[in-house]
Amino acid sequence: MCAKSINTAPRTPSPMTDLSTTVAGMGFPNPVMLASGILDETGASMARVIREGAGGVVTKSIGLEPRLGHPNPTVVEVQGGLLNAMGLPNPGMAAYADEIREAKREGEKRGTPVIASIFGANPEDFAILARMAKDAGADGIELNLSCPHAKGLGLEMGQDPLMVRDIMKAAKASSALPIFPKLSPHVNDLEGMAQAAEDGGADGIVVINTLRGMAIDVEARSPVLGNMTGGLSGLAIKPVGLRVVYELYQHTELPIIGVGGIGSGRDALEYIMAGASLVQVGTAILYRGPGACGMVAKELEVELERLGYANVEEAVGAAHEGAGDCGRRIDGERGQ
Ligand code: RRO
């Protein structure tokens, strides 16, 4: 067993579970956030998600300049989820700042953080965007280092540990906000990438972005998506996300934000037990509507109570208890 005791499981149902939690100094009314890329093009849609019970919202990924994105079709439903190649469409941060302000007004009423997702082509872009997002009132920043289908952006940067470190440093230097890089499962050395993020001053790590995939139209004898390939999200990727969160938990002390195929309180609890301190819901919005985050949070509360957890923190990493030598980093040493 590991020397560091983690989350001994309570035995009896807890009369009341406190869903509120604090991560990287930020307070969240519950740990279920809206993921970047869905219902977050406008302040009004994010405000609605907040009103319907989300514990936090993440904006669509925003760059410096307006961008049209990839040609249609940009989204197709596939077995187990969605395949998208939106191509980072956005109006540019100068125009989008008002959307952040509007979401923030609703967030302030309920103590719900608004996190700005940003993308760029180099550390300087990220530094400027982090400052602009902060000035617009964002409570935290998510660095998109993992979009699987954007040339020279996203994943291309997130596969280079030195670039990850330098982007983190630049964003951190220009904005005092908590900053969370979003990493891809498409990396050979996830542990090294997390270390690079930590070296750059990351306050937590978000995993996972979508998985690179493809759909074929046999009548047209061609790929369905205008971009040919796209990112797979939804239930199909949940086992991948869980595995990544579980492995990261063994190698970093940073808080982990889990995303990928979460559509119920049970899914959220699986991620939390794997090691996530917060979770994000994206594709499930399509099936459950704008209230999906609030619904998942309520279901999570029932699950935590049933299992006797008084709060979310007690359950974080619980799935490592029964796994023998836990390998969680202890006293600066890396585990197995
Ligand atoms: O806009 C997109 O096409 C997109 C982004 Br930024 C991302 O991070 N992940 C994804 O699947 N699509």
Distance from C-alpha of 189 to C-alpha of 192, rounded to nearest angstrom? 5
Contact 263, 291 (CB under 8 A): no
Instruction: Name the DSSP letter for residue 41.
Output: S
- Asked whether the bond before 73 is cis by omega within 30 degrees of 0, the reply is yes
Does the C-beta of 283 come closer than 6 Å to ligand 1?
A: no
- For a mutational test of ligand 1's pocket, the pick from 59, 74, 210, 229, i.e. the residue with the most ligand atoms closer than 8 A to its C-beta, is 210
Does the C-beta of 117 come closer than 6 Å to ligand 1?
A: no
**CA atoms in the 13 A half-sphere facing the CB of 50:** 27
Look at the block and give the residue holding tokens 């969605």: 82
Q: What is the pLDDT of residue 4?
A: 37
Distance from C-alpha of 132 to C-alpha of 275, rounded to nearest angstrom? 32
Structural tokens at position 48: 């609605």
Does the C-beta of 61 come closer than 6 Å to ligand 1?
A: yes
What's the distance, CA 184 to chain centroid? Answer: 11
Q: What is the pLDDT of residue 316?
A: 98
Look at the block and give the residue holding tokens 């369905």: 224
**What domains are defined for the chain?**
21-74+88-214+234-320 (3.20.20.70)
Residue of minimum CA distance from atom 7 in ligand 1 = 147
Catalytic residues: 147
Distance from C-alpha of 42 to C-alpha of 50, rounded to nearest angstrom? 13
**CA atoms in the 13 A half-sphere facing the CB of 102:** 16
Is 231 in a helix, a strand, or coil?
A: strand
Does the C-beta of 85 come closer than 6 Å to ligand 1?
A: yes
Which stretches of the chain are DSSP H helices? Answer: 43-51, 93-110, 123-135, 155-158, 161-174, 190-199, 238-249, 265-274, 284-288, 292-306, 312-315
Q: What is the pLDDT of residue 274?
A: 98
Does the C-beta of 90 come closer than 6 Å to ligand 1?
A: no
Residue of minimum CA distance from atom 1 in ligand 1 = 88
Atom of ligand 1 nearest to the CA of 87: 3
Q: What is the pLDDT of residue 151?
A: 83
Distance from C-alpha of 311 to C-alpha of 42, rounded to nearest angstrom? 32
Residue of minimum CA distance from atom 5 in ligand 1 = 147
What's the distance, CA 117 to chain centroid? Answer: 10
Does the C-beta of 59 come closer than 6 Å to ligand 1?
A: no
Contact 177, 141 (CB under 8 A): yes
- For a mutational test of ligand 1's pocket, the pick from 78, 151, 209, i.e. the residue with the most ligand atoms closer than 8 A to its C-beta, is 209
- For a mutational test of ligand 1's pocket, the pick from 38, 39, 86, i.e. the residue with the most ligand atoms closer than 8 A to its C-beta, is 86
Residue type, 307: L
Does the C-beta of 37 come closer than 6 Å to ligand 1?
A: yes
Does the C-beta of 81 come closer than 6 Å to ligand 1?
A: no
**How long a stretch of residues is the chain?**
336
What's the distance, CA 315 to chain centroid? Answer: 19
pLDDT tens per residue, the chain (336 residues)? 333 345 555 557 766 899 999 999 999 999 999 999 999 999 999 999 999 999 999 999 999 999 999 999 999 999 999 999 999 999 999 999 999 999 999 999 999 999 999 999 999 999 999 999 999 999 999 999 998 888 888 788 888 899 999 999 999 999 999 999 999 999 889 999 999 999 999 999 999 999 999 999 999 999 999 999 999 999 999 999 999 999 999 999 999 999 999 999 999 999 999 999 999 999 999 999 999 999 999 999 999 999 999 999 999 999 998 776 544 544 433 333
Distance from C-alpha of 215 to C-alpha of 285, rounded to nearest angstrom? 22
Contact 249, 320 (CB under 8 A): yes
Which residues, in sequence order, are CB contacts of 323 under 8 Å at separation 6+? none
Q: How far is the CA of 148 from the centre of ligand 1 (A)?
A: 7
Distance from C-alpha of 293 to C-alpha of 53, rounded to nearest angstrom? 6
